[in-house]
Amino acid sequence: MSYGSFPCGFALGGLKLLSPKKEEGRELMTTNCPTLGHGSGACPTKPAHARQFLEALSSSLRAAVPVAANSYEASPFAFHDQDPGSTALRQTREGVCIWDYSTGLMEKLNPAAIAMHGYKPTDIGAGTTVDFFFAQSELAKIPQIKATLLMAGSWDGVLLHKRGDGSELRVGVKSTLKKDAAGDPGTVVCTYYDLSEEDRLMEMALTAQRHEVVALLIAGKMHDVNNILAVIAGSVELAMLAETSAAELIEYLSAIQTNCMALTGIIGDVMDITRGRKGTRRDVDVRLSKFLAADLRHLAKVLPKDICLTVKLEDDPGIVHADLVQIQQVLLNLIVNAAHATEKAAQRQIIVGLASETVPAGGAQSIPAGDYVVLGVVDNGCGIPPEIMPRIFDSLFTTKEPGKGTGLGLAMVKKIVRDHGGYIAVVSELGKGTEFKVYLPRVAPDSRSRTIS
């Protein structure tokens, strides 16, 4: 009998011996461990023999010290006892990398940083630069990161790294530049956070919310279907009247044909909405004005009755290439946040706007130059305190009471907008309200695909 990979009847909980059995007048313990020197498989429990047994066991365990620990100590990047904070740096779950600002050469790596990327300490040799972990697509960011470090003294962000097996790893990075005695750039201390679990939670939240939004969208489309069927049914009844003239019959049949075509279009919209699967996007060319106008009518019905929802949509601000359900998720999350922010306002107001905007090169805002369709959500709520503004898009960060928020809403908004090649701008003033503006790239109509309106 054995426990896991330990023969000799030892459990990890601490040397739990098997029940002894009687043999030839003395108690024996069964073992199958030849390294302990008892070829017969019997281990006497007399004191002398017990000491011998434990000494042999101790020797065996010492010989089995994990190779990884020894190889890390031999690594050129190991934190040694003389290094400040070496014990904590070796034991922390976050990855730590120290590299030279001028040369880019890595100087120190803790075990967590190595294991996080799926490497062994012996896989990374002396003279390795910090871009060793970078995915190919991220290498172009290094000059900008170094420039920010030099100017601001720190850089925080998210990067794609590569694992030892070639797969990609999304990593949160916090970097600080340490200057030398002369005030020149010295070393950079980076802390790595594995975002795999955060991504998994985000995917679960996005999927769950997608189901809710799909149901809402289909409900809206079914309302349109009901109206169209009413027109078709009425036309059929009129066409069947005995006194109907040939000209009137043609008119009724034409109305039926037109509404059947509209019904076909709605069915196509529903199919486009529902085809998206977990991990995939179903992008279509869409004119957001009519799409959002219909959905806002349904959203207004589920908002608290004391909220005044004002809708200001340009008739045709342009076409965006987007996943309809995900854009609906963005709108839903922003409106829910606005509703929460206005809970203590005397007259709760939310304004939703849609317009075209051309951002010039070299503008004051951080949005790159280009043509955009801009979705705006404005509220007259409590506003966002300046000290928490940098964290509002962080996953699991929330200012709501327990049970009233997950801290994933704005994080999902940011992810969806980023995946669509868009940008978000936020302006807020305490006691007056907040404005979110979502910039989605405007595209030219694609003659090869149907545009949804």
Residue predicted with more confidence, 298 or 19: 298
* Maximum average pLDDT range among 116-125, 289-298, 391-400: 116-125
408's CB contacts (< 8 A; 6+ apart) are 201, 202, 205, 395, 396
> What pLDDT shows up at residue 98?
92
Q: What whole-number distance in Å separates Cα of residue 177 and Cα of residue 99?
A: 10
Does this model's pTM top 0.85? My answer is no
SS3 content of the chain, % helix, strand, coil (to 5): 40, 25, 35
Q: Give the pLDDT of residue 278.
A: 45
**CATH architecture for the domain at 203-452:** 2-Layer Sandwich (3.30)
β-pairing verdict for 185-194 and 307-313: unpaired
Q: How much is the pLDDT for 376?
A: 94
Given this model, what pLDDT does residue 434 score?
94
- The pLDDT score that the predictor gives to residue 387 is 85
Residues of the chain with CATH 3.30.450.20: 69-194
Phi, psi of 107 (to 5 degrees): -110, -40
End-to-end CA separation in angstroms for the chain? 70
Asked which of 56-60, 146-150, 226-230, 233-237 is least confident by mean pLDDT, the reply is 56-60
DSSP, collapsed to helix, strand or coil, labels residue 431 as: coil
Over range 413-425, report the average pLDDT: 88
Confidence (pLDDT) at 347: 92
Helices (H), 64-152: 67-74, 86-91, 111-116, 142-152
* Tokens at 286, concatenated: 């869409």
pLDDT tens digit sequence for 54-63: 666 666 655 5
Please give the mean pLDDT across all residues of the chain: 75
Per-residue pLDDT tens digits for 435-450: 999 999 998 766 444 4
Element (H, E) at 156: strand 154-162
Q: What is the share, in percent, of the chain residues with pLDDT greater than 90?
A: 21
d(CA 178, CA 140): 23
pLDDT surpassing 80 at residue 428: yes
Domain 69-194, CATH among 3.40.50.800, 3.30.450.20, 3.40.50.2300, 3.40.50.150: 3.30.450.20
What pLDDT does residue 327 have?
85
* pLDDT per residue as tens digits for the range 144-153: 899 989 988 9
pLDDT computed for residue 6 by the predictor: 34
Q: Label residue 332 by pLDDT band (50, 70, 90).
A: confident
Please answer whether residues 176 and 185 qualify as being in contact, where contact means their C-beta atoms are separated by less than 8 angstroms.
Answer: no
